[in-house]
Structure 1
Amino acid sequence: MTDKPNLLFVYGTLLIKHNEFAAYLQKHCTFISKGRIAGTLYDIGEYPGAVIDNSGGYVYGSVYSIDKPDEILPVLDDYEGLSPNDPQPQEYLRLLSPIETDEALLSCWMYVYNWPVDRLKIIDGGNYLTYKSDSSL
């Protein structure tokens, strides 16, 4: 696995075209590949949360190359609730995670859900866009 701290794996609202932060991502990042990571995807309500685990499932999303990580990641961190003003423990953590693509295993930044999941609905199939298009959300 090559360490590339300028890569970002997104799996949720940052993939939705009408989301202003997804538009920001598209403007400042370049799509690299579809990807996946072993884990479980949960329905948090307005957005999903991914937990990395060995449950046998996968979370699916996209890998992007970030043009200027030092400028872009703090904006995305604020969107994901990682500012110093957000409640502790923070809802998400930004971690370097091993993302599988058809070509390679890539080390990517990923926002991982950090709160209890025992009362949350699992998104079967691990694909948020499919889930949104199949449901009446």
Structure 2
Amino acid sequence: MDERMSYLFVYGSLLNDDNEFAVYLKQNCTFYNKGKFEGKLYEIGLYPGAIADTGCGLYVYGSIFFVDDPKVTFAVLDEYEGFGTDEPYPNEFIRQLVEIEMVNSTKMSCWVYLYNLPVKGLPEITLGNYLLYKKSPDLLQPGD
């Protein structure tokens, strides 16, 4: 895997300090920068799901990590996210390369776990920031 494919953008439960996989991520990856991508963020239940949606004018905010050992780390995180051929079909999340805009306005491609099921009726986290939403759940917009 080439180095530019060794970056992961996380926006949800992998940012929670009390999540064992977030701990794993921080032990096996290096924080690189804050960033955002054009898309929408939804409340799925105990975690959020994001979809990429260029042209929507909304953003999903999170952090970029450099993945020290992509083969091993992505295998662990893919299982956590329910992504892969060994997981129920259709996968709830897919891992896709997405263009991320960093705080200094430069852009780079990062892997992102995107929600892969229908979003109709799911409440939207319109600010696009899961950690902020967790502090103030009244920022949720009802689903369609």
1:65 corresponds to: 66
Give the superposed CA RMSD: 1.3
Equivalent residues in 2 for 1:1-137, closer than 5 Å = 4-53=4-53, 54-103=55-104, 104-135=106-137
Partner amino acid, structure 1, of 2:115:
Y
Deviations 1:53-79, CA, capped at 9 Å, x for gaps: 021100000000000001100100000
Deviations 1:66-109, CA, capped at 9 Å, x for gaps: 00001100100000001433221111110011000023201100
TM-score by length of 2: 0.89
Higher relative contact order (CA 8 A, sep 6+): 1
Aligned length: 134
Q: Which blocks of at least 5 consecutive residues in structure 2 are unaligned?
A: 139-144
Deviations 1:14-44, CA, capped at 9 Å, x for gaps: 0000100000000000001100000000000
Q: Which blocks of at least 5 consecutive residues in structure 1 are unaligned?
A: none
The percent of aligned pairs where both chains have the same amino acid is 49
